[in-house]
Amino acid sequence: MSDNRIAVLVPGKIHPRVLETLKGHFDIVALDRSESPKVDAETAARVRGVAVSGGYDAVWMDAFPNIEVIANFGVGYDGIDVGHAASKGIVVTNTPDVLNDEVADTAIALLLNTLRQFPQAETWLREGRWVKEGAFPLSPFSMKGRRVGIYGLGRIGLEIARRLEPFKVKIGYHTRSPRDSLPYDYYSTLKEMAESVDTLISIVPKTLETHKVINAEILSALGPQGVFINVGRGWSVDDDALIAALGNGTLGAAGLDVFYDEPNVPAGYLSLPNVSLLPHVASASVPTRNAMADLVADNIIAWFTNGNVLTPVPETPVKSKG
């Protein structure tokens, strides 16, 4: 470790491309994740930046008194105590935009898989059942004529809406406030939207307001022809209510890429024939993850080169240090 180079902390695992890039500019302090960091005071004092994939709490912030910037690998940053960071004048960054298209594409694919049962149809072919038993059963649902409500119309939600337009479905959305320039129907509450659509796509972040809001009431409002798709956060879903609704016919089908306690998936989902399950792969392509890794590294490099970052989160200061 060089005495005259800035040290950047990497707690736990992160995309190797982040490390490869940062090593050319900084000394890397790699630590295993634990409740509190195990590091000597001299090293702790040298750390001025953090590159992290996952959570970073107040205990870890306080253990490194000279941190200036925390770069998060991911668009969601609910695992980082941004309030504490702001109180200490630490800038937090995330990786928006570079994964918008990939996640939106996955949302559409998951919706089609859920409606048309394409994964089950492929399994039917691979297992030789087409030859032995005949054609795969007709899918119970179709995209045709659907009324789709998007819960959360941020960058990714808007990309999902634009991808839905060529399918000739009716599109609506619920957010805290309407966006007048858009040609989609606005609903002032989630329940109002669920009562008016038959397909609900959730792309909201993890906040206090979104905790388990997809509950029995919302699922019942969607109805037995209704479909629920989640590419946002598992935090937003009442799993017991969703499993019950899928099992008793209150809801027609669901497609899930995210779960409350990943990678643990409730066993109740696994036996249901009307749910399509993915292991949180919405942004998981080599090009997209490389772009995310580059943005993490570029934010840290930019901060220590010119005193600004490329993608600050709104809760932390954006003042130039120059």
Catalytic residue numbers read 233, 262, 280
Eight-class DSSP state of 138: P
The full length of the chain comes to 322
From residue 94, alpha-carbon distances to 41, 82, 255, 307 in Å are 28, 11, 26, 17
Give the DSSP letter of residue 257: S
Residue with tokens 């990939």: 102
Cβ neighbors of 142 (< 8 A, separation 6 or more) are: 115, 116
- For CA atoms 30, 34, 37, 39, the dihedral sign is negative
Q: Count of CB atoms within 10 A of residue 45's CB?
A: 13
In 3D space, the residue among 62, 77, 51, 98 whose CA is nearest the CA of residue 299 turns out to be: 51
Angle formed by the axes of helices 100-116 and 155-164, to 10°? Answer: 50
For 162, 249, 269, 280, the CA distances from 240, given in Å and listed in that order, are: 32, 14, 10, 20
What H or E segment, with its residue span, contains residue 306?
helix 286-306
Which of 103, 13, 26, 40 lies closest to 68 in space, CA to CA? 26
d(CA 188, CA 318): 32
Which amino acid is residue 186, in one-letter code? Y
Q: Is 202 helix (H, G, I), strand (E, B) or coil?
A: strand
End-to-end CA distance of the chain: 26
Order of strands, sheet of 7-11, starting from the edge strand that comes earlier in the sequence: 27-31, 7-11, 47-52, 69-72, 91-93
